[in-house]
Amino acid sequence: MDHSLFLGLIGLVALIVLIGLRVPIAYAMILIGAVGTISLNGPAIFLNQLKTLGYSQFSKYDLSVIPMFVLMGYLATRAGLSQDLFRAANAWFGRMRGGVAMSAIAACAGFGAVCGSSLATATTMGQVALPELKRYNYSGSLATGSLAAGGLLGILIPPSVVLVIYAIIVEANIVSMFAAALIPGLIAVLLFILTIAVFVRINPQAGPAAEKLPEGEFLAATLSVIPVLAIFVLVIGGIYAGFYNPTPAAAIGVALVAIYGTLRRGVKLSDYRWAILETAKTSGMIYLILFGAELLKIFMSRGGVPQAAASWMVNSGLPPMGIVIVLLIALIFLGCLMDSMSMILLVMPFFWPVVAELDLGMDPGDVKIWFGVLALIVVELGLITPPVGMNVFVISALAKDVPMRETFRGVMPFFLVEILRLAILIAFPALSLWLPHLVTG
């Protein structure tokens, strides 16, 4: 075995050990990338590389969209959008058996379209919907399971920070990625609602129907969601229509959410201060991980690890689609050990060169988009699978009277329909590619 490749594999094993020891992934990648590059090329080359790496990495215009969408999400949590969304959804679905849980799913989709964060969606909608689910005596597993699963919609329905990161890593068009994620996201909403319908059909006591709202309250609840829909149309619709690219769109979104929160909900100066500080913390964490991922990628590329992995997989005898499925299964298992952002940053520099070598019968640009949507779906699954399952932990912290095992039991039907959605998108790539082709012409 080549000496450089051997060092690269040793570095990869060391990285896995550090992650297993709960070392923050940014520090682990920086350490392995620095030590590995020094081992291969010496300290002088590493220091010479280091003096320009930070600027070249963070001066990319596409990265400016991240703090904008993060800020929009934090402002949305304080602006009361979640209450209006849930109220409107409950007006339409609440009268049905399991309807309050269906309303939570629909509201999660709407909030995710403004927020772009799975954990924020799960946390905010959990605070809004749990009291109503308890009031109507929903079973603990259905109530918490539907909210933990609903939080997944925040990561796929555009705008999504993780989707932006993927696009930057593989050099895909962000607008195309946003367009590609919309139809799969809507399919998820439909499948989740159908899952709840089947659940309450089998166990009617798990999700009783709420009372029908008077006509005046129904109309008021429905109209209250118009500002949220307007924000989504102006931000995401403006991107799709080509009026502006994602960074100005995110800035417009921040302004609209701020105006909405100030005029309708009385968002205070302290709320803006909190949102800006949290945005700075989150963006700093993301950028540090990006820096560590770049250092690691340089070391691994010089060691030949991605190239060796691509060569091994291509020559393994598996058909191209079989290799894609193996990679997606690996992502599901990795999702049990780390968060979605870290996983995309850590794994894509290894997986994408493999996928890029495959003959999948599609244009290379389409492969980037299609595989990105598939990868994002399996990354989602890590948010509801043990032992990490961050969405489950978030909802369990809010529903202290429901044992965590009940919540994990409640998310299993949603996990299975996510696997079904994945199979549908693998079998029919056009579901991910039709809208990007329409948008980009």
The SS3 of residue 116 is coil
Q: Kindly list the domain boundaries of the chain, sorted by start residue.
A: 3-440
CB atoms within 10 A of CB 25: 24
53 exposure class (CB count in 10 Å sphere: 0-12, 13-18, 19+): middle
pLDDT for 20-40, tens place per residue? 787 888 898 899 999 998 988
Phi-psi region of 212 (alpha: psi -120 to 50; beta: other; left: phi over 0): beta
**How much is the mean pLDDT over the chain?**
87
The reported pLDDT for the residue numbered 180 is 93
The four Cα atoms 289, 292, 293, 297 give a dihedral, to 10 degrees, of 180
Q: What is the mean pLDDT of residues 384-393?
A: 80
pLDDT for 281-307, tens place per residue? 988 888 888 888 888 888 888 888 877
Query: Residue 15 is which amino acid?
Result: L
The reported pLDDT for the residue numbered 60 is 79
Is the pLDDT score of 101 beyond 70?
Answer: yes
The SS3 of residue 132 is helix
**Structural tokens at position 406:** 């009940």
Q: What's the rounded Cα separation, in Å, for the pair 408 and 396?
A: 10
Q: What's the rounded Cα separation, in Å, for the pair 183 and 192?
A: 14
For 399-422, b/e burial (b = at least 16 CB within 10 A) is beebebebbbebbebbbebbeebb
CB atoms within 10 A of CB 232: 18
pLDDT band, residue 262 (cuts 50/70/90):
confident
The reported pLDDT for the residue numbered 117 is 77
Query: DSSP string covering 208-254, please?
Result: PPPPPPPHHHHHHHHHTTHHHHHHHIIIIIHHHHTSS-HHHHHHHHH
pLDDT band, residue 427 (cuts 50/70/90):
very high
Query: DSSP string covering 1-12, please?
Result: --HHHHHHHHHH
By C-alpha distance, which of 62, 72, 283, 58 is closest to 175?
62
Q: What's the rounded Cα separation, in Å, for the pair 78 and 356?
A: 42
Is the pLDDT score of 386 beyond 80?
Answer: no
pLDDT for 126-181, tens place per residue? 888 999 898 889 999 999 999 999 988 888 888 888 888 898 888 888 889 999 99
Q: What's the rounded Cα separation, in Å, for the pair 392 and 389?
A: 5
**Structural tokens at position 160:** 């999504």
The reported pLDDT for the residue numbered 441 is 65
The SS3 of residue 357 is coil
First-to-last alpha carbon distance for the chain, in angstroms, is 47
Q: What's the rounded Cα separation, in Å, for the pair 339 and 31?
A: 19
CB atoms within 10 A of CB 329: 11
pLDDT for 392-412, tens place per residue? 888 988 888 888 889 889 999
pLDDT band, residue 374 (cuts 50/70/90):
very high
Q: What's the rounded Cα separation, in Å, for the pair 91 and 82?
A: 14
Q: What's the rounded Cα separation, in Å, for the pair 183 and 312?
A: 34
Is the pLDDT score of 1 beyond 70?
Answer: no
Question: In the chain, what's the furthest Cα-to-Cα distance?
Answer: 75
Is the pLDDT score of 420 beyond 90?
Answer: yes
Q: What is the mean pLDDT of residues 274-280?
A: 92
* Contact yes or no for 98/142 (Cβ under 8 A): yes
Query: Residue 222 is which amino acid?
Result: T
